[in-house]
Structures are given as structure tokens and as C-alpha cells.
Amino acid sequence: MQSHLLFIIYILQCFSLNLAIPFGRITSRAMAPLTAFIHNVNFLEKKRLLFFRIVKKYYIFQQSYAVIIGAKF
């Protein structure tokens, strides 16, 4: 669902960039909130992916550490 929404927003943004060429600054100024929203969503998505990557690494490290301790005793 979220990816569909992002795709629709992306298409809207491309369309707005095409509109911004003839109309100049007015259209790009009007589209600024949408662009800011897209950048914000992308930023949050990157943060979320980074968080899950760190959690996964920690989990794998914990599992391997448990295996090493298990082998010692």
C-alpha cells in the first residue's frame, strides 16, 4: 500500500516538474510542499531501513556469540 502511494506521488512529482517548465516559479512554489513531503518520506524510509539493518546485525552477532559460548561449555 505504501509503495503504491509513493509511486503515485512520484508520478505526480514528475508531472509537476514538467508543468513547472512553462509556468516558471509559480508551479514549483506550489509543488514545494509535495516535494518536501516526498523528501521527508524518503528520509524516514532510509532511517527505518538503517534501523532494521542494525537490529539484524546485532541479532546475528548475538546468535553467533551464543554459539561460541555454547561450544566452550
What is the total count of domains within the chain? 1
**Domain that includes residue 53, residue range:** 2-72
User: Is the pLDDT reported for residue 7 higher than 60?
Assistant: yes
Q: Looking at the whole model, is its pTM more than 0.85?
A: no
* Residue closest to 9 by CA, chosen among 47, 48, 49, 40: 40
Say how far apart CA 44 and CA 59 lie, in whole Å. 22
| Sign of the Cα pseudo-torsion (11, 15, 16, 21, in order) | positive
Mean of pLDDT values over 46-58: 76
Q: For residue 32, what is its C-alpha cell?
A: 514545494
pLDDT tens-digit series, residues 9-51: 666 666 555 554 454 555 556 666 766 776 677 777 777 777 7
